[in-house]
C-alpha cells in the first residue's frame, strides 16, 4: 500500500508498520489496520486536512461512548499536518455483524437480538456520559421536510448518547454477543427513538428494499433486533413521526449513492408511513 495520503498519515504518527490492510465496513473515511514492529495493532483513520472536523467529532464521540461504558475503540492519538488529518485508535477484533447474518448455523437471529440489547444499553448508559462538547450530531434536520417531521416527535425521553449509524456494518461480534460498536462520526445527543428509527430505516429502506429477495430475512432479523431492544429495557412508544424523520434523513444520506429508482422506492415507503401505513417491525 503506497498511497501518498496514507504515507503522510504514518509520517505524522512516526509509525513504521510491519503490515497493513484496508478494512471494509460502514466507515465514512478510509480505515487501515496497522501492525507495528512491536506486535501492536491499531486502526488508522485518515483523510485530507478538510477531514479534521470529522475526525475531531469522532474523537469526541468515542470518548463519550467510552464514558458510557459502550464497547468501542479507544482513542490513542489525533493529529494533523498540512497534508493529512489522522485518528489512531485501538484495533478491535471481531466479525462484522453483516457477515455473521449470513451464517447458515442459525446464529443470525440471536445476534440480531443481541444487537438490539446493545443499542438499548447504549441509550441507558449514554444518559450519564453527556457533556457540553456534544450536540445533536447527524440528527439535526437538514431540510424543511425533516424539520417538519421532527416537529411531530414528542422527544420526551431523557436525552442520551445516540450513535445514529447503528447497523450491521458498524457492529462487531465475537459470535455470541456484540463486542464492539464502530464509526461514531454521526453520533449526537437526543431522544433514543431517533437512534432506533434510524437503524430501522437503514435496514428496511436500504438493506432490503421492497423488491429485494432479502426482505423476508431482514424482516425476521429486524423483529429480533427490536425484541432484544425491548427485552433489555428499552421503550418505543409513538414511533411513527420518528420513522418518518429517519426515512427522510436516510434518503438524504443516500442521495447520489443510490439510483433514482431506488430512491423513488424509498420515498414511496416513507410516504406510506407518514399516511398511517404499517411500519416495519411488528414491535413498532
- pLDDT category at 104 given cuts 50, 70, 90 is low
- pLDDT category at 2 given cuts 50, 70, 90 is low
Tell me the C-alpha distance between 163 and 118, whole Å. Answer: 11
Based on the fold, state whether residues 129 and 150 are members of the same structural domain: yes
Based on the fold, state whether residues 236 and 103 are members of the same structural domain: yes
Averaged over 214-221, what is the pLDDT?
91
What's the total number of domains in the chain?
A: 2
Q: What pLDDT does 211 receive?
A: 84
Based on the fold, state whether residues 231 and 104 are members of the same structural domain: yes
Does a structural domain hold residue 282? no
Instruction: Output the domain CATH number for residue 198.
Output: 3.90.1200.10
Q: Is the pLDDT higher at 56 or at 2?
A: 56
- pLDDT category at 38 given cuts 50, 70, 90 is confident
- pLDDT category at 163 given cuts 50, 70, 90 is very high
Based on the fold, state whether residues 110 and 206 are members of the same structural domain: yes
Put simply, whether the predicted model's pTM sits higher than 0.85 gets the answer yes
Based on the fold, state whether residues 111 and 58 are members of the same structural domain: no
Tell me the C-alpha distance between 119 and 201, whole Å. Answer: 15
Domain that holds residue 207: 95-274
Based on the fold, state whether residues 43 and 154 are members of the same structural domain: no
Q: What pLDDT does 1 receive?
A: 55
Q: What pLDDT does 25 receive?
A: 55
Based on the fold, state whether residues 42 and 150 are members of the same structural domain: no
Does a structural domain hold residue 281? no
Based on the fold, state whether residues 253 and 149 are members of the same structural domain: yes
Domain final position from 75, 90, 105? 90
Amino acid at each position: 500500500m503506497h498511497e501518498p495520503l496514507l504515507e503522510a498519515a504514518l509520517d505524522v504518527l512516526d509509525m513504521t508498520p510491519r503490515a497493513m490492510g484496508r478494512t471494509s465496513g460502514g466507515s465514512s473515511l478510509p480505515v487501515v489496520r496497522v501492525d507495528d514492529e512491536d506486535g501492536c495493532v491499531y486502526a488508522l483513520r485518515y483523510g485530507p486536512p478538510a477531514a479534521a472536523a470529522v475526525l475531531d467529532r469522532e474523537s469526541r464521540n468515542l470518548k463519550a461512548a467510552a464514558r458510557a461504558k459502550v464497547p468501542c475503540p479507544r482513542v490513542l492519538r489525533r493529529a494533523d499536518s498540512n497534508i493529512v488529518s489522522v485518528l489512531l485508535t485501538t484495533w478491535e477484533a471481531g466479525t462484522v455483524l453483516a457477515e455473521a447474518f449470513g451464517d447458515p448455523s442459525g446464529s443470525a437471529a440471536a445476534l440480531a437480538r443481541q444487537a438490539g440489547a446493545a443499542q438499548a444499553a447504549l441509550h441507558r448508559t449514554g444518559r450519564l456520559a453527556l457533556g457540553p462538547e456534544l450536540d445533536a450530531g447527524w440528527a439535526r434536520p437538514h431540510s424543511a421536510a425533516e424539520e417538519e417531521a421532527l416537529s411531530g416527535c414528542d422527544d420526551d425521553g431523557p436525552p442520551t448518547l445516540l450513535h445514529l449509524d447503528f447497523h450491521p456494518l458498524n457492529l462487531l461480534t465475537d459470535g455470541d454477543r456484540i463486542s464492539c460498536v464502530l464509526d461514531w462520526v454521526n453520533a449526537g445527543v437526543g431522544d433514543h427513538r431517533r437512534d432506533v428509527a434510524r437503524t430501522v430505516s437503514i435496514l428496511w429502506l436500504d438493506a432490503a428494499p421492497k423488491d429485494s429477495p432479502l426482505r423476508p430475512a431482514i424482516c425476521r432479523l429486524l423483529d429480533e433486533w427490536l425484541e432484544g431492544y425491548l427485552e433489555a429495557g428499552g421503550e418505543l412508544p409513538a414511533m411513527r413521526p420518528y420513522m418518518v424523520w429517519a426515512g427522510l434523513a436516510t434518503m438524504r444520506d443516500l442521495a447520489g449513492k443510490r439510483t433514482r429508482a431506488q430512491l423513488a422506492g424509498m420515498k414511496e415507503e416513507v410516504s406510506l408511513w407518514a399516511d398511517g401505513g404499517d411500519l416495519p417491525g411488528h414491535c413498532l
